[in-house]
Amino acid sequence: MLAWGGTPFGALLGGLVADTSGARVAYLVLALPVVLSLALVLASPVRGLRVTVG
């Protein structure tokens, strides 16, 4: 539930950006947090963790 809680706010923000700047700019602006979060994960120690099953 927590992961989906921000969806309405993201939709509102995306709509506002698209309405004021256009759809192409909205895609670029709203893709930035996705790319930044991926960069954070790749730069963190999480990347080197090993999971053992059993």
| Domain definitions of the chain by residue range | 8-41
Span 27-42, pLDDT tens digits: 888 889 889 999 998 8
pLDDT at 53: 79
Q: What is the pLDDT of residues 2-36, one digit of tens each?
A: 678 888 998 898 899 889 999 898 888 888 988 99
DSSP-derived secondary structure for the chain: -TTTTTHHHHHHHHHHHHHHH-HHHHHHHHHHHHHHHHHHHHHSGGGG------
Q: What is the reported pLDDT for 12?
A: 92
Cα separation, 21 vs 27, whole angstroms: 10
Answer yes or no: are the C-beta atoms of 12 and 26 closer than 8 Å. Answer: no
